[in-house]
Amino acid sequence: MPFPTRREALRDLLRAADLDALLVTDLVNVRYLTGFTGSNAALLVHVDGDGATRFGTDGRYRTQAGVQVPDLEPLIERATSFALAADAAGRGVRRLGFESDHVTVDAHVALGEAVPGVRLERAPGLVQRLRRVKDTDEITTVRAACAVADAALADLLAAHGLRAGRTEREVALDLDDRMRGHGAAGPAFETIVAAGANSAYPHHRPTGVALDRGDLITIDFGALVDGYHSDMTRMFVLGPAADWQRELYELVAAAQAAGRAALAAGAHVREVDAAARDVIVAAGHGERFPHGLGHGVGLQIHEAPALSATGTDELATGMVLTVEPGVYLPGRGGVRIEDTLVVRSDGPDPLTGSPRELLEV
């Protein structure tokens, strides 16, 4: 199991922060550190090792915890985080870190009252710092999620699922069902199908608008497999593409290629964003690219690091990110091209396999 190794890596961060332990309450982080998938859990990671580390959940998950977290001593209590904090105080913990980016103000106050002899220290983002670089198992799972999305899209096209008269909502639901048919637990996020002028909205939600001949169509979607997400955007035209549609697509394709090429270990996220953005700015459409170039993908669909003009990270081997430039022309339509890739020492490794060309259907 990778979980003991991940917890040991977290202990290095706790020692550097001079913390005796960390109370992990974000369920995504609990899953990352233990493998537990229930809806109520917390984890007390102690610097002294797994012998002093406690996993907590409530009675509904007693059996599940025994299966998914067999290597940690369980504490069964409904108010899990408070019980773990009290247990930590009883074991001599005096500097207890907590996920201040996840805990509410009221919960923080109540926690302090529950353990008056313990100094609570804000420790936001420690587990997320570890999650930025994926291990082999995680990359394999994201790759599988990408393969499910690729297969579902291929099925949709083979079945002539993109055709005039179908609504955006019908296409989105069809694609979601096909991902489930290929083994996904469900879509990684609400599938975006945007036709015609709606493709100028970066995060358009599918409606009852019917696809029509000549429409530029954006499909932004992903699959959820074993808790991990994939993310991909592909573009289509119903019938022959108009000159402006093809020109816009070629511009975004050039920007995306530049962004992919810049995705390298040691590169600063601002440099990667600029590599793609400069292509669009040079074409006079800088103001029509309103979002960052990409984001990390893993147990959440949006994770650190972010590829943006305001980012602060450097890329490292094993990071999994999207590269997704877009240009959006209000009232006409927009183009976004997106792939999920792994940062490697010898260049990016694409996990999405669907053709990137503008497809006329």
pLDDT of residue 91: 86
Write phi, then psi, for 82 (nearest 5 degrees). Answer: -70, -40
Per the CB < 8 A criterion, the answer to whether 272 and 259 are in contact is yes
pLDDT of residue 175: 98
pLDDT of residue 234: 98
CATH 3.90.230.10 correct for 136-360: yes
pLDDT of residue 268: 97
pTM of the model: 0.95
- So where are the chain's domains? 3-131, 136-360
- pLDDT string in tens for the chain (361-residue length): 799 999 999 999 999 999 999 999 999 999 999 999 999 999 999 999 999 999 999 999 999 999 999 999 899 999 999 999 999 998 899 999 999 999 999 999 999 888 998 999 999 999 999 999 999 999 999 999 999 999 999 999 999 999 999 999 999 999 999 999 999 999 999 999 999 999 999 999 999 999 999 999 999 999 999 999 999 999 999 999 999 999 999 999 999 999 999 999 999 999 999 999 999 999 999 999 999 999 999 999 999 999 999 999 999 999 999 999 999 999 999 999 999 999 998 889 999 999 999 999 9
pLDDT of residue 192: 98
pLDDT of residue 346: 85
pLDDT of residue 41: 97
pLDDT of residue 136: 95
CATH architecture of structural domain 3-131 = 3-Layer(aba) Sandwich (3.40)
